[in-house]
Amino acid sequence: MNNQAIQTIEKEQIKFLKFPKEELLSSKKEKAERCQTLTRAMVLGNIEHQKVHILFADNEGLKRVNTTIWGVTEEYVILKTSTTIPMERIVSVA
């Protein structure tokens, strides 16, 4: 990733983005940690309605969204209104 500005967007904008198919994380450890963090965030979102910041990349660069995670599958993170972000495009969750 280069040092470009991170654009903060609303979750409603995600459905208009284009996502390349390449994985952003290189190691199995990073991917496992991402999955654990997303699952933890999903539990907090469903039980306590707690929002998280998701840092991800579309075909134009890095984006950040502050939202509640409703579900996590092997391929996607599911947000409200059936909005999804491909798992391989997520850099971090905080």
Report d(CA 61, CA 57) in Å as an integer. 5
Confidence of residue 3 (pLDDT cuts 50, 70, 90): low
Q: Inform me whether the pLDDT recorded for 53 exceeds 60.
A: yes
Instruction: Please give the single-letter amino acid code of residue 67.
Output: T
User: Exposed, middle or buried: residue 67 (CB in 10 Å: 0-12, 13-18, 19+)?
Assistant: buried
The pLDDT of residue 19: 98
Is the pLDDT at 36 greater than 80? The verdict is yes
pLDDT of 1 reads 47
Q: Is the pLDDT of residue 87 over 90?
A: yes
The predicted structure's pLDDT at residue 75: 96
Supply φ then ψ for residue 27, to 5 degrees: -100, 155
Residue 64: pLDDT over 70: yes
